[in-house]
Structure 1
Amino acid sequence: MRTIVTVNRAKTRHRKDDLSLDGLSFLLADVQDNLGNFLTAFLTIQNWPSSRIGAAIAAGGLGAVLARFVGGWALDIFCGRRLMLAVCCAVTFVSVAMMLWVPLFYPIVVAHFIAGGAGALFTPILAAISHHTAGARGYIERMGRNESFNHLGNASSGFLMSLLGRLIGPVAPLWGVGGLAAVSILFVGGFSAQADEPSGQPPEAASVRETLRAVFTLLSEPRLAIFLATYLLFNVANGAVVPLMIERYAFLHLGDPAVVTAICIVIAQITVIPPFLVGF
């Protein structure tokens, strides 16, 4: 009898963790991927010059780069993954609210820098939680499921944002992104304590010299260096396509930039969803 109760509890815990991961992957997709695009549409409507829009968007990218560097280190030594995820959701909501309440250059640059950093941590935190809740054997399948819900969330949110943008205006998609971040906190509370379990291996502090030596060893590998350079160039080229298109669209007065942004997001995500669903 005791064994049956233990198994049932484990299954219930696993279902709760799966539900929370599905919900967060779905809701946070638009938050981490499309905030900059909707911000570009909003600033274009505010008649910001291209140089200032570019600076504001670049601030989010800089925040994301720094956050991934620090966040990876923090995940290795800090087990409070649920707390980290909840803080990132709350910080994103506050940052978006600040952009809308104080639409000035420096406040928006600072807010997008912070929001970009918070959004960049969602994926590694969810990956760490997936590893601890699904286990080593189920990790790959769980990550594939995360990606499926991520792209489905991007497409669904993009469609919703297009409706909000058409009915209310360019401010609505930004409030929608902030609202998704706030609602996500509810799913964070659905995780079991297993999400915060330590890795089982005591963290070992590496010296600065050892860290630099490891980095140099990785970068000295030709194949890895080529891959990193290619990946960087692709993201530099690909990441600016939608913001530049939005600016050009608004400059020519062809319609509502917020609606066009959402449509581009929906089309892109719909084409990506099917490959991830093949295994399910």
Structure 2
Amino acid sequence: MTAPISSDLRRSIYALAALNFFLADARDGLGPFLDGFLATRGWEPFTLGLLATIGGVLGMVATPLFGALVDASSRKRTLIILPVVLVTAMALWTLATPNNFSVFGGQSATAVVGAVIGPALMGLTLGLVGEKRFSDQVSRNEFWNHAGNVFSLGAIYIGSLYFGLNGVVGLMLLTALAAIIATLAINPAHIDNRVARGMGAKEQDDGPSGLSVLTHSKGLILLALVLMIFHFGNAPISRLIAQDFSIQLGSPFRTTAITTGISQVSMIVMALIAPWLITRFGLGFVFVVALMALPIRGVIAGSFSDFAAIYPVQFLDGVGAGLIGIATPLAAERILSGTGRFNVGLGAVMTVQGVGASLSNIVAGWLTDQGGYSLAYFVHGGVAAFALLLFMFGAKAIAPEPRKGVA
């Protein structure tokens, strides 16, 4: 039976919720708005794909290294605060002078420093709530993250409508400050750093994390490959939609706020029902639902060119990406339970999935130049069928049952 949460720990968990809420805007800089912003300034789809690919490759290389750093560090709050400051600075630089140097340089720096936030947040969460509460807390993290995204999108829509670019800049500064304050409100004494790296209560610490965990675990390898294929298919679709309709409607920030807002609302719903789905049907079922959503999304996006098509397309993005975002750290934690290498293992998985996401961006840009947006939607949506087949082959290894006594 899970022990009750003390009032002091509860305050830290509330601060974690606030961190996830404000981190939604502060961790990615311009995030989904970048493509629409640059597309309306004459940047071509292939160039935007190249930009995303460079950032993805840099982030891919940095993520497992930062995962090892998170495992070894007892200063997990610092590993969130510093990237937030740097990512915000790079985004403001890009908005102020959107030339080749600021865009490529700024986004490259954002990809590198931003790669530490994901592992740091997962490690902090696991160390704060422990193994038994980790599944439910990941879903709560996702709920507050997507709620923060919806708030941010609405604020950017209104701010850009009334104040133009100044409204966007002001919001970025406010959310970065709020994320820093929320991080500092988490009591570091409540973070068990042994638990945060995936060590059980009785296991011995086997030293610093190493990347060999990736090659020694069948489940982790299969999980990484499934995610690589999924993200190759999924990563560029929302970007292409933002480019397409920003150009058509001539309003990058408001258009992207609408399209991204739909998927974020869908992700909030997924975060609310995910714990019930996992308890009732198992983690494997959640993976299957997420992987099935993408091929349907690609068919709809490729078949209809009206703006109304974004509603089912982006809703399915919330189903697929939303559930995958919850299921991935849970699967990694189950696979690596007791090894003391949770964060480096999760970082390695994110690296391999980053290969798919990075390659997809330049491929999607080329497909769009050759056959238009519809061709890219069909191809990338269809790729996910292979991810589903691979998952079905290795489901028991990818999504094992939790250890006895762990909910």
Equivalent residues in 2 for 1:53-202 (5 A)? 53-169=48-164, 172-173=167-168, 176-195=171-190, 197-199=192-194, 202=205
> What do the CA deviations read for 1:117-159 (whole angstroms, capped 9, x no partner)?
3333323212211222212332222222111111211222222
For 1:204, the aligned partner's letter is G
Rounded to whole Å, the distance in 2 between the matches of 1:114 and 1:259 is 26
For 2:42, the aligned partner's letter is N
User: Is 1:256 matched with 2:251?
Assistant: yes
For 1:239, the aligned partner's letter is A
User: Is 1:28 matched with 2:23?
Assistant: yes
Aligned residues: 263
Cα gap change, 1:196/1:88 in structure 2, threshold over 3 Å: closer, same or farther? farther
Q: Percent identity?
A: 21
The equivalent of 1:6 in structure 2 is: none
Corresponding residue to 2:39 among 44, 52, 55: 44
Cα gap change, 1:90/1:206 in structure 2, threshold over 3 Å: closer, same or farther? closer
For 1:71, the aligned partner's letter is F
Rounded to whole Å, the distance in 1 between the matches of 2:176 and 2:67 is 21
Rounded to whole Å, the distance in 2 between the matches of 1:52 and 1:131 is 39
Cα gap change, 1:65/1:100 in structure 2, threshold over 3 Å: closer, same or farther? same
For 1:238, the aligned partner's letter is N
Bigger Cα displacement from structure 2, 85-94 vs 45-54: 45-54
User: Per-residue deviation at 1:174?
Assistant: 5.9
Rounded to whole Å, the distance in 2 between the matches of 1:179 and 1:49 is 31
The equivalent of 2:232 in structure 1 is: 236
User: Per-residue deviation at 1:11?
Assistant: 3.0
User: Per-residue deviation at 1:96?
Assistant: 1.1
User: Is 1:270 matched with 2:265?
Assistant: yes
Rounded to whole Å, the distance in 2 between the matches of 1:275 and 1:39 is 26
Rounded to whole Å, the distance in 2 between the matches of 1:140 and 1:164 is 36
The equivalent of 2:241 in structure 1 is: 245
Q: Is the 8 A contact 2:18 2:182 kept in 1?
A: yes
Q: Is the 8 A contact 1:26 1:150 kept in 2?
A: yes
Q: Is the 8 A contact 1:59 1:110 kept in 2?
A: no
TM-score when scaled to structure 2?
0.58
The equivalent of 1:215 in structure 2 is: 214
Rounded to whole Å, the distance in 2 between the matches of 1:235 and 1:34 is 20
Cα gap change, 1:52/1:174 in structure 2, threshold over 3 Å: closer, same or farther? farther
The equivalent of 2:207 in structure 1 is: 204
Cα gap change, 1:62/1:175 in structure 2, threshold over 3 Å: closer, same or farther? farther
> What do the CA deviations read for 1:17-53 (whole angstroms, capped 9, x no partner)?
1121101111112344683321112212222233332
User: Per-residue deviation at 1:59?
Assistant: 3.0
* SS of equivalent residue, structure 1 residue 240: helix
Unaligned runs of 5+ in 1: 1-9
Q: Is the 8 A contact 1:37 1:261 kept in 2?
A: yes
Cα gap change, 1:228/1:84 in structure 2, threshold over 3 Å: closer, same or farther? closer
User: Per-residue deviation at 1:225?
Assistant: 5.0
Q: Is the 8 A contact 1:27 1:184 kept in 2?
A: yes
> What do the CA deviations read for 1:55-89 (whole angstroms, capped 9, x no partner)?
33333322332232111110111111111111111
Rounded to whole Å, the distance in 1 between the matches of 2:73 and 2:49 is 35
Q: Is the 8 A contact 2:29 2:90 kept in 1?
A: no
Rounded to whole Å, the distance in 1 between the matches of 2:146 and 2:101 is 32
Cα gap change, 1:186/1:142 in structure 2, threshold over 3 Å: closer, same or farther? same
* SS of equivalent residue, structure 2 residue 77: helix
Q: Is the 8 A contact 1:90 1:181 kept in 2?
A: yes
Cα gap change, 1:65/1:174 in structure 2, threshold over 3 Å: closer, same or farther? farther
Cα gap change, 1:170/1:260 in structure 2, threshold over 3 Å: closer, same or farther? farther
